[in-house]
Chain A
Amino acid sequence: MENFTYHRPASAADAAAAMKGAKDGKYLSGGQTLIPALKQGLASPSDIIDLGGLKNSGVTVGATVVIKAGTTHAEVAADAGLRKAIPGLSALAGGIGDPHVRHRGTIGGSIANNDPAADYPAACLGLGATIHTSKRKIAAGDFFTGMFSTALEEGEIVTAVEFPIPKKCGYAKFPNPASLYAMVGVMAAQLADGSPRVAVTGAGAGVFRATAMEAALAKDFSAAALNGVAVAAKGLNSDLHASADYRAHLITVMAKRAVEKAK
């Protein structure tokens, strides 16, 4: 791993200033994706700006659910208020990686990194979340812009994610047995106004909505409604773990499970 200058600012303003002063800076949150990437030489920033010093964590349940960016997956999964308000989101957080990763990885880090196989992007898109940043609020549909890319501008920091409370939702994934990342993961939700949402992660270059499935669920929010409804294999990921055809098949299977689990 290349060496870098380490910063641990105590405020978002100091973090932004450190980023501005860096030749090629990168923010670090829980580090569960970034540190492996640094070790593999996939990234070699001049400066690492650790956001851990901002102490920006916690879950607030009110008319919506607000999860601060530095909240770990374990803290999200353990929050009793969230478990009542959006059990499907609570379960998703409790199923990310493994217990040790969940002690470190954060929601802000996960979505800012936008790994195409990460779980949280499916929750954000599937539940119609709003991403709060140091500069503005961005709808999830506009935030995720493709593989490892987001609408975040230079130096902009995710501060919180706000989830509207759906009628019900469920998340089902088929994890890669070694990395535990989603080979395919599907968040299926019935939003407060009754409209269905289906968001798919792991299968393509980035998270996307399965609109044909949403149309089928609009008439009848049941697993049976998804019989014979599939996402085309063309354009899906194909690698040594699974072909595009296999992933396309998995999407329907996972979507049905997600609908069945929804509560």
Chain B
Amino acid sequence: MPAISMKVNGQAVCGDVEGRTLLVEFIRDKLGLTGTHVGCDTSQCGACVVHVNGKAVKSCTALAIAHDGAEVTTIEGLAANGKLHPMQEAFREHHGLQCGFCTPGMIMAAVDMVNRLGKKLDEDTIRHELEGNICRCTGYHNIVAAVKAGAANM
């Protein structure tokens, strides 16, 4: 099996993978970082979103082996010095989750949104940008409010 190495949440990691090993499998099964979820496995729900070299991607639709040398950030990499990231804090504050299954992907997507579009986001933009993230619980209302507030605080 080929060996790959990458930087995940700032730490150098390595491991053996098969050609078919998905990035999300590497993150969850090899690295034990289970904050990244698999909701659909058909590239639709966005629960598996992580950042690769600064860009949000669906880790269920990416081969681990293609990420040799990549820098990956998962939901576990957002909080710093024991303090939640402003976007995580906003989801808590605004009750932007119920079961929480979609939340890691929502938050990674939201941080990516701010990185691309800036801190001032209107509701239409947020809803449109969350097209690739599905939530079965909340009805999105509080997620949108959380993203808006979290963006402003980033």
> What is A's interface to B at a CB cutoff of 8 Å?
1-6, 8, 28, 31-32, 35-36, 38-40, 48, 50, 52, 74, 97-101, 103-104, 178-180
Given contact pairs A36-B61, A98-B131, A99-B112, enumerate 19 new A-B contacts (beta carbons under 8 Å): A4-B19, A4-B20, A5-B19, A6-B19, A6-B63, A8-B66, A32-B61, A39-B42, A48-B63, A74-B55, A98-B46, A98-B132, A98-B133, A99-B129, A101-B43, A101-B132, A103-B56, A179-B44, A180-B132
Cβ of B62 within 8 Å of any chain A Cβ, yes or no, is: yes
**A98 / chain B contacts, CB cutoff of 8 Å:** 46, 131-133
Q: Which residue of the partner chain, among A1, A5, A99, contacts B56 with CB atoms under 8 Å?
A: A99
Quote the shortest CB–CB distance from B140 to chain A (angstroms).
Answer: 13
Residue on B nearest A178 in the bound complex, by CB: B44
Cβ of B58 within 8 Å of any chain A Cβ, yes or no, is: yes
**B49 / chain A contacts, CB cutoff of 8 Å:** 100
Q: Mark B77-88, 1 if CB is under 8 A from A, else 0.
A: 000000000000
Residue on A nearest B58 in the bound complex, by CB: A100
Contact, CB under 8 Å: A3 / B113: no
Contact, CB under 8 Å: A99 / B109: yes
Of residues 14 through 30 on chain B, the ones whose CB sits less than 8 Å from some CB of chain A are: 18-20, 22
Cβ of B2 within 8 Å of any chain A Cβ, yes or no, is: yes
Q: How many residues of B contact A (CB 8 A)?
A: 28
Q: Mark B42-60, 1 if CB is under 8 A from A, else 0.
A: 1110100100000111100
Contact, CB under 8 Å: B20 / A52: no
- A selection of 13 A-B contacts at a CB cut-off of 8 Å is A4-B19, A31-B66, A35-B62, A48-B19, A50-B63, A98-B46, A98-B133, A99-B109, A99-B116, A100-B46, A100-B58, A103-B55, A180-B44
Q: Which residue of the partner chain, among B20, B44, B129, B133, contacts A1 with CB atoms under 8 Å?
A: B20
Quote the shortest CB–CB distance from A103 to chain B (angstroms).
Answer: 4
**B62 / chain A contacts, CB cutoff of 8 Å:** 31, 35, 104
Complex CA gap A6/B20 in Å reads 8
Of residues 102 through 119 on chain B, the ones whose CB sits less than 8 Å from some CB of chain A are: 109, 112-113, 116
Contact, CB under 8 Å: A36 / B43: yes
Complex CA gap A199/B109 in Å reads 33
Chief secondary structure at chain B's binding surface: mixed
Cβ of B65 within 8 Å of any chain A Cβ, yes or no, is: yes
Residue on A nearest B42 in the bound complex, by CB: A36
Contact, CB under 8 Å: A52 / B66: yes
**B133 / chain A contacts, CB cutoff of 8 Å:** 98
Complex CA gap A98/B116 in Å reads 14
Quote the shortest CB–CB distance from B66 to chain A (angstroms).
Answer: 6
Complex CA gap A65/B44 in Å reads 31
Complex CA gap A97/B42 in Å reads 13
Cβ of B89 within 8 Å of any chain A Cβ, yes or no, is: no
**B129 / chain A contacts, CB cutoff of 8 Å:** 99
| 6 A-B pairs with least C-beta separation | A98-B132, A6-B19, A98-B131, A103-B55, A1-B20, A4-B19
Contact, CB under 8 Å: A3 / B18: yes
Complex CA gap A2/B44 in Å reads 21
Cβ of B71 within 8 Å of any chain A Cβ, yes or no, is: no
Contact, CB under 8 Å: A32 / B43: yes
**A5 / chain B contacts, CB cutoff of 8 Å:** 19
Complex CA gap A48/B21 in Å reads 13
Complex CA gap A2/B20 in Å reads 7
Residue on B nearest A78 in the bound complex, by CB: B116
Quote the shortest CB–CB distance from A101 to chain B (angstroms).
Answer: 6
Quote the shortest CB–CB distance from B41 to chain A (angstroms).
Answer: 7
Contact, CB under 8 Å: A103 / B57: yes
Complex CA gap A100/B61 in Å reads 10
